[in-house]
Every structure is written in structure tokens, then in C-alpha cells.
């Protein structure tokens, strides 16, 4: 029997995660958790049931469910709640689509998801709770720190460093050796030629810092 797994999240990203889990066949999905929309509890979603919110974790653990993966994109929340899930006794699963291309020497942390068509090339290091989304490219010797999100079609040239919880928008391009600071947001289609500091919004071609990100984003 396959080990049972719960997906925390019940939106669009959760659909992608569930598809990968089922294609790989390593786990049996027992259901989804949704803290945002209580009226959806006990309703069908993506071939399973939304069991409730985080209050279901103790029940799931008692029934023998050991594995959990997140199905939402918010970077800081994934990292924060991963510690909460570990305290509850869950192990964090990874999800790598069978049509992703991952070099043999790539190191990958727990909870990470790599979607269809993504490429991660040699000597790269992928942290915990990272999302490398559909058809994104992470070239040789890149470092993607914990909680970062590389959106669909984004392209990182060799030796790029993406800081903790940074978010690269769809189709963004980052040239060789550039560092994206922790918590920064790079707009869709941006062309990043120079280092980007921590905690800022940057976009354009070439990408320029537009503003700092305040406590409310």
C-alpha cells in the first residue's frame, strides 16, 4: 500500500500538485485542507474531499497519515506552516513531475514542487518549499533558497542565486551570476541584468527597482 498524504491548499496550485502526486504514484491522496474557505469543507475537490482546515491535522495523524505537501503559492506561508506541520508530526513530501528534467547531482529540499517541462541543470541547489513551476529553466550552478517561487516560463541563466521567499514572475529572465534578494518580487517578463536587493519589487526591461515591499506587501 502507498503511504497516505494530505495536500494543504485547495486552489489552482493544489490542482497541479495533486496531478503530479497521482502521476508519480508514490502516495495516496486522502484529501485537501482549506483554511481560507470554511464553506467548502466536506465538499468534493479534484477527486477527493476538502476535509477541513488545519484543525484536521491531529485527526489525520491519529489515523496514520504521515505525509503532507502544500498546494498554494504564498512563499512565507509555506515556510511558516511547514514548521507547524513538522511539530504536528508530519513529513513534508516533494512533488517532481515525471516530465521535468532534473540533473542527477541536484540537491533538493523537502516540500519542493517541480512542475511539468521544468529543467534544473547540474550543480544547482534547490531549497525547501521551493516551487519551480511549469516550463521554468534553472540552469547550471544556480541556488534557489527556501520558499522561493520560480513562475511558469521563467529562465535563470547559470550561477543565479534566488533568495529566500523571492518570487520571479512568469517569463522573467535573469542573466548569469545575478542575485535576487530575499523576499523580492520580480515582475512577469522582466529582464534582470543586475543584482536586486532584498525586499523590493522590480520589473521592466531592463528590470529596475520600483519600490520597497512594506509589511503588507
Task: Of 114, 64, 113, 119, give the one whose Cα is nearest residue 93.
Answer: 113
Residues 128 and 161 in one domain: yes
Based on the number of CB atoms within 10 Å of its own CB, is 8 exposed (0-12), middle (13-18) or buried (19 or more)?
buried
Q: What is the model's pLDDT at position 214?
A: 81
Q: Where are the beta strands (DSSP E) in 27-78?
A: 28-33, 44-45, 48-52, 67-70
Residues 55 and 115 in one domain: no
> Which residue range forms the structural domain that includes residue 55?
4-93
Instruction: Measure CA of the first residue to CA of the last residue in the chain; give whole Å.
Output: 44
Residues 115 and 206 in one domain: yes
Average pLDDT per block of 10 residues along the chain, 217 residues long: 96 98 97 96 97 97 97 95 96 98 97 98 98 98 98 98 98 98 98 98 98 78
pTM: 0.95
Residue 44, C-beta contacts closer than 8 angstroms, at least 6 positions apart: 50
Residues 74 and 8 in one domain: yes
Count: domains in the chain? 2
Question: Are the C-beta atoms of residues 72 and 11 closer than 8 Å to each other?
Answer: yes
Diameter over CA atoms, the chain: 53
Residue 22: φ, ψ to 5°: -70, -35
Domain end (from 93, 120, 144): 93
The set of cell numbers assigned to 11 is 486552489
- Report the 10 Å Cβ neighbour count for 27: 20
Residue 141: φ, ψ to 5°: 65, 25
Residues 82 and 103 in one domain: no
Amino acid at each position: 500500500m502507498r503511504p497516505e498524504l494530505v495536500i494543504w491548499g485547495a486552489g489552482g496550485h493544489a490542482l497541479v500538485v495533486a496531478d503530479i502526486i497521482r502521476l508519480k504514484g508514490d502516495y495516496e491522496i486522502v484529501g485537501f485542507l482549506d483554511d481560507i474557505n470554511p464553506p467548502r469543507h466536506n465538499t468534493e475537490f479534484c477527486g477527493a474531499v476538502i476535509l477541513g482546515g488545519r484543525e484536521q491535522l491531529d485527526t489525520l495523524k491519529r489515523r496514520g497519515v504521515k505525509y503532507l505537501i502544500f498546494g498554494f503559492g504564498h512563499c512565507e506561508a509555506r515556510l511558516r506552516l511547514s514548521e507547524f506541520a513538522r511539530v504536528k508530526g508530519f513529513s513534508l513530501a516533494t512533488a517532481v513531475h515525471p516530465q521535468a528534467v532534473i540533473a542527477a547531482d541536484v540537491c533538493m529540499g523537502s516540500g519542493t514542487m517541480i512542475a511539468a517541462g521544468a529543467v534544473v541543470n547540474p550543480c544547482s541547489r534547490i531549497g525547501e518549499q521551493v516551487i519551480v513551476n511549469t516550463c521554468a529553466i534553472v540552469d547550471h550552478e544556480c541556488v534557489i533558497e527556501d520558499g522561493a517561487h520560480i513562475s511558469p516560463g521563467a529562465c535563470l541563466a547559470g550561477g543565479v542565486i534566488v533568495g529566500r521567499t523571492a518570487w520571479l514572475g512568469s517569463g522573467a529572465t535573469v542573466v548569469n551570476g545575478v542575485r535576487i534578494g530575499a523576499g523580492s518580487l520580480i515582475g512577469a517578463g522582466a529582464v534582470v541584468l543586475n543584482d536586486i536587493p532584498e525586499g523590493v519589487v522590480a520589473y521592466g526591461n531592463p528590470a529596475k527597482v520600483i519600490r520597497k515591499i512594506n509589511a503588507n506587501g
